[in-house]
Amino acid sequence: MRKKITLITGANGEIGQGLIKLLYKKGINNIVAFDLLPSNNEMQNMITDQIIGDILDSNLLESINEKYEITELYHLAALLSTKSELYPEKAHEVNVTGTINLLTLALKQGKLNNCPVKFFFPSSIAVYSIDKNNLNKITEEENNNPKTMYGCNKLYCENIGSYYSKKYSPYLIDFRCIRFPGIISPYTIPTGGTSDYLPEMLHSVIKNKPYKCFVKKNTRMPFMIMPDAVSAIYLLMNAQKNKLCYDIYNITSFNPSPEEFLNLLKEYVHDVNVSYQINDERQKMVDSWPSDINDSKAFEDWGWKPKYNLKDSFEIYLIPALEKFYNIKVN
Ligand code: AKB
């Protein structure tokens, strides 16, 4: 008998750790974490098993197919935008070939289980490219012409996921996708992303460390905090299929500039040491992304609504969580 599981690739990543905590809290007790390295001790207590390996290892994926009955698959493993621009071939291998490998595994599982695998794919606002002066809230079907390797990877995988989910009847994959904005967590700092500047600034300032912001102080793009990001995944994955008019949805919460974010931070931490050292390549990437996005389809189809606006994110969540995490008291 193959054990029924919820498989999470990229389990050690920021979204992976946040999602495992939420699913565990919701009573999901069959989580299998799949990543290149072992899960940390906190995660170990919330998972039933772990797979240490590479999503590019076809033998490993075949052994997973033989051992488990996958009911839900959250494919979070990816190289983010800055790292993908530095290592484009590696990015294509991980972000595209890796995703195709997991979709192929899901197809095999759908046939084996005679039941579609619910497949979550995290896409990104990087699939858009737009003139930064255009302050319109971009909808899902607009400006799908990415100017980064990461954005190209994500857009292609969205299309392949939709294609695989409609190729067979009855369908073998129930593909569901969210285009995430930048995400801010009090427990982890992103690596290799281009939206990293706000989480990096937050963690540096709260620890009274200097921070050099790599984009201009008036740069604007959509963000949200991790609790809203993982709650959105849970909400979408548990929505009735017949309520979903689309495979792919935008979500967002707020879109502060670094200057606005820092001014809010200063309400909690008085002596800050933040300067600007612009990285032209990263600035160009963020400048190609929309300043704001329209997430009304997610609201209409599956009731998405951020719990935290910018002010509440600080007041109710980030500052208390950071104080506890770093065992400090902001002045
Ligand atoms: C990145 O910066 O690469 C990601 C994203 C915006 O998708 N955080």
pLDDT, one tens digit per residue, over 192-236 is 999 999 999 999 999 999 999 999 999 999 999 999 999 999 999
Question: Residue 133: what pLDDT?
Answer: 80
Question: Residue 220: what pLDDT?
Answer: 96
Question: Residue 168: what pLDDT?
Answer: 84
Our separate counts of H helices and E strands in the chain read 14, 13
For residue 132, what pLDDT band results from cuts at 50, 70 and 90?
Answer: confident
Ligand 1 atom nearest 190 alpha carbon: 8
Backbone angles phi, psi at 315, to 5 degrees: -60, -45
Contact yes or no for 319/268 (Cβ under 8 A):
yes
Percent above pLDDT 70 for the chain = 100
Ligand 1 atom nearest 194 alpha carbon: 2
Closest Cα to atom 6 of ligand 1: 182
- Between the CA of 240 and the centroid of ligand 1 the distance, in Å, is 28
**Is pLDDT at 311 greater than 80 in this prediction?**
yes
**Active site members:** 150
Estimate to the nearest angstrom the gap between the alpha carbon of 147 and the chain centroid. 19
For residue 72, what pLDDT band results from cuts at 50, 70 and 90?
Answer: very high
Ligand 1 atom nearest 82 alpha carbon: 3
For residue 320, what pLDDT band results from cuts at 50, 70 and 90?
Answer: very high
Vertex 225 angle, CA 291 and 51, to 5°: 115
Please give all residues whose beta carbon lies within 6 A of any atom in ligand 1, as ranges. Answer: 80-81, 124-126, 150, 180, 182, 193-195
Question: Residue 134: what pLDDT?
Answer: 82
- Between the CA of 170 and the centroid of ligand 1 the distance, in Å, is 34
Closest Cα to atom 7 of ligand 1: 124
- Between the CA of 62 and the centroid of ligand 1 the distance, in Å, is 30
Rg (CA), the chain: 19
The stretch 23-46 carries a mean pLDDT of 97
Question: Residue 116: what pLDDT?
Answer: 96
Contact yes or no for 15/223 (Cβ under 8 A):
no
Locus of tokens 């990437």? 285
The stretch 45-55 carries a mean pLDDT of 98
Provide the β-strand partners of residue 249.
Answer: 178
- Looking at residue 34, its amino acid is F
- Between the CA of 158 and the centroid of ligand 1 the distance, in Å, is 16
